[in-house]
Chain A
Amino acid sequence: MSDYDPLLTVESVSKRYGDERVLNDVSFTMDRGDVTVMMGPSGSGKSTLLRCVNRLTEVDSGEIRLGDHRVTDPGIDVDALRRDVGMVFQDINLFTHLTALKNVTLGLREVRGFSTDDAREAATEQLERVGLGDQLDSYPGELSGGQKQRVGIARALAMEPELLLFDEPTSALDPELVGEVTAVMADLAAGGMTMLVVTHEKGFAREAATDALFLDAGSIAERGPPAQLFENPENERTAEFLDRVSTVSGEP
């Protein structure tokens, strides 16, 4: 047991907003290279949990550790933690006044201290990796939703994070654009990136995830390999929810 050294440890994390319990004693771990998808109904605490991992939200109690970072320790250098955790947002949040390239170089230059040339080179490489080598000088307003989200992924990747967080990365996209984003994500997963993904894309989960969590009312109701969770959910709420998601996405 003493040899077991997970990358991410979430231990008895609880969080409430006013009277509402958003997270209730949540615990799980992730190893390097794990791809964990989190599913669950709206308001089940998925996004809150994700945001606790990079301290965009503070926990009320419990502990989170990421590598050497004691995430929930109030005294830590939050900027240093965030250098090691990338985040991809539901509403994408590209810097609207900057080109695709500069969206990626900003962090490289200002946070990682790259020179202009080095940042440009590294950013170009990341944008090529997500298939946008020909859109370096486009502004977010000139890109499609799927292209924007791929820039968002490149921006997070460029910081060479140990863990990438995805907060419903495709739910703001038109259905026909979802595929290009999940394809990039599956590619990253295959390349060994550690990813914690809030999504309802069962196709992506089946193909790329090592692990699926089902959150219900702030607690982990069920956890297991995606195939097992989808085919034979043990929990009644899980079954019900997955059924509804399938009806919407038209997937069997």
Chain B
Amino acid sequence: MLPGTGVVGAVAVGSLELSIRTIAQLGSDTCGSLPPDVAFVCENAGYLAGGLVLTIALTIASLLVGLVAGFPAGAIEVYGGRYASLAVEAVGTVFRGTPIVVILIFAYFVVPITDWFPIQRVLPVGGAFVAAVVGLGLRSAAYQSQLFRGTLQSVDEGQMEAARAVGLSKLGAIRHVIVPQALRRSVPGFQNEFTIVLKDTSVAIAIGLAELFTRSQDLFVQRTTAVTEVILLISAVYFVMTFGTNRALEYLNDYYAIPGEST
């Protein structure tokens, strides 16, 4: 939605990785004095941190795919011809009607996803990551299209009439008048979508992607007495991330609010 989101994401992930490595190093030196199960988690903090990096990357990439595919899809449903909007609607219905775990397994084991989207050739990511981005991304697109459809339709008809009366083409009116208003109204809905995608990255365990949840399972399988400590820790991590991004998006919502209008 914002230009530079990708860059900011990459920088954030990079600096996070660095600080996590430092913590992990410090951690393994000082973990010994803790109770045994806590010490186990403490010693493996670096391993979990690696999963966290993947979780964040997966969330950002999936949301971007969802935005890039979902916004035009929503616009087609509102402004497109009958057949185009029917087609988009049908695809959306399928994606919204299928469990995310099924979508991921389909993307990874059934279709040759890495041949269709050979992202692994340009970026240092594996096939499971590509499949997870495509699966989570398209599912998010199916939901984001409904978000944008709703906000585009919520802009008063008079706005389009006024724009056309000034002499703008329909496309010009959509671009300069309808979309800027609709995007502002989309931020609260996007907050929900962000939270959902972030939490649903954990489903990538089904295709063995080593994100945060998969790695936490590796740990508590290895040491079953530490399951409480591991799960509590990653629950806290997920919570901090959803809470933090929600606050950030609330700020964005206030920042872009139209003066004099109640939001």
A contacts, CB < 8 Å to B: 54, 56, 79-80, 82-83, 85-87, 89, 91, 93-97, 106-107, 110-112, 138-143, 155-156, 159
**Contact A95:B167 (CB < 8 A) given known A139-B261, A141-B258:** no
* A56 contacts B167, C-beta separation under 8 Å: no
Within 8 A of A (CB), among B122-180: 156, 158-159, 161-169, 172, 176-177, 180
* A82 contacts B261, C-beta separation under 8 Å: no
Given A95-B162, A97-B184, A155-B162, 5 more pairs with CB closer than 8 A: A87-B165, A89-B158, A89-B162, A96-B258, A139-B260
> B201 near A: Cβ within 8 Å?
no
* A159 contacts B156, C-beta separation under 8 Å: no
B59 CB contacts on chain A under 8 angstroms: none
B contacts, CB < 8 Å to A: 156, 158-159, 161-169, 172, 176-177, 180-181, 184, 258-261
Interface contact tally, CB-CB below 8 A: 78
CB distance from B258 to the nearest CB of A (A): 5
* B166 contacts A141, C-beta separation under 8 Å: no
Give the interface centre of B156, B167, B176 by most chain A CB atoms within 10 Å: B167
What are 18 contact pairs spanning A and B, CB under 8 A? A56-B161, A82-B164, A82-B167, A83-B167, A89-B165, A93-B159, A95-B159, A95-B181, A96-B261, A97-B177, A97-B184, A111-B167, A111-B168, A111-B172, A138-B260, A139-B260, A140-B260, A159-B167
Assembly CA distance A86 to B156 (angstroms):
20
B167 CB contacts on chain A under 8 angstroms: 79-80, 82-83, 107, 111-112, 159
Assembly CA distance A85 to B177 (angstroms):
20
A79 CB contacts on chain B under 8 angstroms: 167-169
CB distance from A189 to the nearest CB of B (A): 20
CB distance from B164 to the nearest CB of A (A): 7
* B261 contacts A54, C-beta separation under 8 Å: no
* B161 contacts A141, C-beta separation under 8 Å: no
* B163 contacts A95, C-beta separation under 8 Å: yes
A159 CB contacts on chain B under 8 angstroms: 166-167
A54 CB contacts on chain B under 8 angstroms: 165
The 7 closest A-B CB pairs, nearest first, are A141-B260, A93-B162, A142-B260, A107-B166, A93-B158, A111-B167, A87-B165
Assembly CA distance A89 to B166 (angstroms):
12
B159 CB contacts on chain A under 8 angstroms: 93, 95-96
Assembly CA distance A140 to B260 (angstroms):
7
Q: Which of B169, B172, B177, B260 contacts A95 (CB 8 A)?
A: B177
Assembly CA distance A141 to B161 (angstroms):
19
* B259 contacts A141, C-beta separation under 8 Å: yes
* B176 contacts A139, C-beta separation under 8 Å: no
**Contact A82:B176 (CB < 8 A) given known A91-B158, A139-B260:** no
Assembly CA distance A52 to B176 (angstroms):
25
Assembly CA distance A95 to B168 (angstroms):
13
CB distance from B165 to the nearest CB of A (A): 4
* B259 contacts A142, C-beta separation under 8 Å: yes
Assembly CA distance A112 to B258 (angstroms):
26
* B259 contacts A110, C-beta separation under 8 Å: no
CB distance from B1 to the nearest CB of A (A): 16
A82 CB contacts on chain B under 8 angstroms: 164-167
